[in-house]
Amino acid sequence: MVSREWLVVSKIEALIVLTTLPLTTPPLTTHKYTKQLEENMQIEWIESQFFHTDKIANEMIIIHHTGSNNGRINSLQGTISWFKPDVWRSTRQVSAQYIIARDLRPIIQMVKDEHTAWHAGRSSWEINGVLRENLNNRSIGIELQGDGQLFRYSDFQYDALIWLVKQKMEQFNIPIELVRGHEEITPRKPDPGQLFDWDRLKQGLASVTAPGSDIPAFDDSLDTDGDGIIYLDETDDVKIPSGKDRTIVESILDFFAGLFK
Ligand SMILES: [Zn+2]
């Protein structure tokens, strides 16, 4: 164990290090595999005809599976043509923003984030204390190729999902509590299923700082426009992304505390 004095010194040193860090320094604790993915992951755009422009906001992320037929996972091509049929159909019009295939390949995007995809149907969930229904126009839908009732999802799918969800949480300020399965917002639905590993997803998202995460609240009064960015001085251009910097502070304090244990 380190003496109290050493700990105090280490915290001061940590703060000195912090003040000299470039503002763009990534969090110290990044998931190795995800980091590799970040450099290689791609999104392929195949536009679905099934969407609407009535989006209210991206407040939730909803995870689905594409299902199976007679014990066989539905093919990727089958799902794509279900969302983008060669021949227009006026019934069973369904779509989702993203599809993540089982095998290594680009994530497919079929509806823009700012548009409403048709994946949630009759659904309800409490968002910021208000019970909302029919969540299509408040959410981003992500399909995992597979059937979580029968088959495990692939390692690639977890990593791609973490990569994607992380981006969307940061982009739209979505807290982890509002990343949900279809089965939760529509109880009769089976997806993503009991074989979906929620702990694995949450672990992968642990470095995302969004509202609702267990990071101490920062001084709201400094965040004049509520976007989570504190301007040190309105007259200069230095911005501190508050959430990320707290992660760095914590990481550094942990690092130094660890050195003197
Ligand atoms: Zn679903």
- Any domain includes 13: no
- Any domain includes 23: no
Q: State the distance from the centre of ligand 1 to the C-alpha of 62, rounded, in angstroms.
A: 8
Which residues line ion ligand 1, judged by CB < 5 Å?
Answer: 64, 182, 191
- Any domain includes 9: no
Q: State the distance from the centre of ligand 1 to the C-alpha of 143, rounded, in angstroms.
A: 7
pLDDT digits (tens, 9 = 90+) for 171-180: 999 999 999 9
Q: State the distance from the centre of ligand 1 to the C-alpha of 3, rounded, in angstroms.
A: 55
Mean pLDDT to the nearest integer, 69-83: 96
Q: State the distance from the centre of ligand 1 to the C-alpha of 104, rounded, in angstroms.
A: 22
Confidence of residue 14 (pLDDT cuts 50, 70, 90): very low
Q: What is the pLDDT of residue 116?
A: 98
- Any domain includes 185: yes
Q: What is the pLDDT of residue 33?
A: 52
Q: What is the pLDDT of residue 40?
A: 82
The whole-model pTM stands at: 0.68
Of 26, 214, 57, the closest CA to residue 132 belongs to 57
Decide if pLDDT at 3 tops 80: no
Q: What is the pLDDT of residue 10?
A: 47
* Domain count for the chain: 1
Report the alpha-carbon distance of residue 107 to residue 110 in Å, rounded.
Answer: 10
CATH number of the domain encompassing residue 229: 3.40.80.10
- Any domain includes 58: yes
Report the alpha-carbon distance of residue 170 to residue 20 in Å, rounded.
Answer: 25
Domain range enclosing 44: 29-259
- Any domain includes 47: yes
Decide if pLDDT at 71 tops 80: yes
DSSP code, position 190? -
Q: State the distance from the centre of ligand 1 to the C-alpha of 238, rounded, in angstroms.
A: 43
Decide if pLDDT at 244 tops 50: no
Mean pLDDT to the nearest integer, 157-182: 96
Q: State the distance from the centre of ligand 1 to the C-alpha of 49, rounded, in angstroms.
A: 18
pLDDT above 70: percentage of residues in the chain = 65
Decide if pLDDT at 228 tops 50: no
Confidence of residue 39 (pLDDT cuts 50, 70, 90): confident
Decide if pLDDT at 223 tops 50: no
- Any domain includes 6: no
- Residue pair 228/240 in contact by the 8 Å Cβ criterion: no
- Any domain includes 22: no
Report the alpha-carbon distance of residue 7 to residue 9 in Å, rounded.
Answer: 5
pLDDT digits (tens, 9 = 90+) for 81-118: 999 999 988 888 999 999 999 999 999 999 999 999 99
Q: What is the pLDDT of residue 159?
A: 93
Q: What is the pLDDT of residue 86?
A: 94
Q: State the distance from the centre of ligand 1 to the C-alpha of 260, rounded, in angstroms.
A: 50
Mean pLDDT to the nearest integer, 129-133: 97
Peptide bond preceding 192 in cis form (omega within 30 of 0): yes
